[in-house]
Structure 1
Amino acid sequence: MRILGIDPGYAQTGWGVVESDGQHNRPVSFGVIKTSTSQLDSQRIHFIAKSVGLLAEEHKVDICAMEDIFFTKNVSSAIPVAKVIGACIHQMGLQDIPVRLYSPPTIKSAVTGFGGAEKHQVQEMVRILLGFETIPRPDHAADALAVAICFAVYDFSRIRMKLP
């Protein structure tokens, strides 16, 4: 099964594709979608969603796992990210690709065993679990790979058996 992990962001959206059989995970590709402050908000959001759709098509993914907004003190920065999440969910829906959303503590727990892990600990475990020599860069790409691993840990068998 091919899993597209997404770390949604307004300026940079991380993405990572992992192939999993439920026990073994193999990295396929990863990167970051960047937008420019010179673009209109609607253009940035559209570009991110369209790019995610193209990545899903290119890598023939079966499912999309995405980090959800969990908590933020700055609501004004959370709103654009929420728009990106919604646009990506819509794009995946157009392509009949199911989406699973995970909170940051859930992702951290799946990857490190501890929901309060620090960012560098998560990224180091991504390196180890996927067999990289160094932590994948940029950071948002490593975070996206962590989201894909989270799906493989928590929901692989349910999806494979077609359960809700």
Structure 2
Amino acid sequence: MTIILGIDPGSRYTGYGVIETISNKNRHIASGRINATVGTMPERLLKIFQGLSALIVEHQPQEVAIEETFVNKVNAASALILGQARGVAICAAAQTGLPVAEYAATQIKLAIAGNGRAEKLQVQHMVKILLNMREALAADASDALAVALTHAHVRSTKMRTGISLNKAWG
């Protein structure tokens, strides 16, 4: 049994999803989002760090997976701000020595919906099916669960085949 914390970083809302994986069976443990909409940027980043640190203490994950930043040349400032939130999330995991896996959005969409260009609603729908969930999910929480599920699929394939898939698919 492995507990995985998936993170969808954001400077205003950071989504999180915690799953338990046994072989290729996955179970939803917790999901939601950290609201960091108030305060200066340093205060918001601290809130994200503290929120993720508390989740790590509460759920004791063995592994963390995080979505990579999509770099858009049109809005580089947004990418830089998102990168700060992502860095804080990585630090929250690193302070406890947890391994961190990173996945591009196209990899996540491919793993969850079978299409690297899937729409958000398709991914959200598949997350609910894969985790046998009935309740509605916030977009941030759904995205974070998709990251965790992607990591569960990749680690399961690695364990079965012994093949390293880092950066080699998507």
Q: Is structure 2 residue 13 aligned with structure 1 residue 12?
A: yes
Secondary structure, in 3 states, of the residue corresponding to 1:36? coil
Q: 1:60 corresponds to which residue?
A: 60
Q: Kindly tell me: are residues 69 and 93 of structure 1, through their superposed partners in 2, closer, same or farther at Cα, counting changes over 3 Å?
A: same
Amino acid at match of 1:86: G
CA distance in 2, matches of 1:57, 1:157: 28
Over the matched positions of the two proteins, sequence identity in percent amounts to 35
Amino acid at match of 2:34: I
The answer for the alignment partner of 2:30 in structure 1 is: 29
CA deviations 1:30-73 (Å, max 9, x no partner) are 01100134x11111111101211110110010111011112323
The corresponding residue for 2:153 is 153
Task: Using the TM superposition, give the Cα deviation of residue 158 of structure 1 relative to its aligned residue in structure 2, in angstroms.
Answer: 4.1
The CA distance in 2 between the partners of 1:76 and 1:159, in whole Å, is 39
Q: So what's the TM-score if we normalise by structure 2?
A: 0.88
Indicate conservation of the 8 Å contact 1:68/1:102, yes or no: yes
Q: 2: CA distance between counterparts of 1:157 and 1:115? A: 18
Per-residue deviation at 1:77? Answer: 1.1
SS in 1 for 2:34: strand
Cα distance in 1, alignment partners of residues 155 and 70 from structure 2? 19
Q: Are 1:126 and 1:135, in contact at CA under 8 Å, matched by a contact in 2?
A: no
Moved more, 66-75 or 100-109: 66-75
Structure 2: distance between partners of 1:22 and 1:109: 20
Q: Deviations over 1:119-162 (max 9, x none)?
A: 100000001000012442x11001100000000111245479x9
Partners of 2:117 and 2:22 in 1: how far apart?
A: 27
Q: How does 1:124-135 map to 2 (within 5 A)?
A: 124-135=125-136
What root-mean-square deviation, in Å, do the aligned CA atoms of Structure 1 and Structure 2 show?
2.0
Hey, what's the Cα distance between the residues in 2 that align with 1:120 and 1:31?
Answer: 17
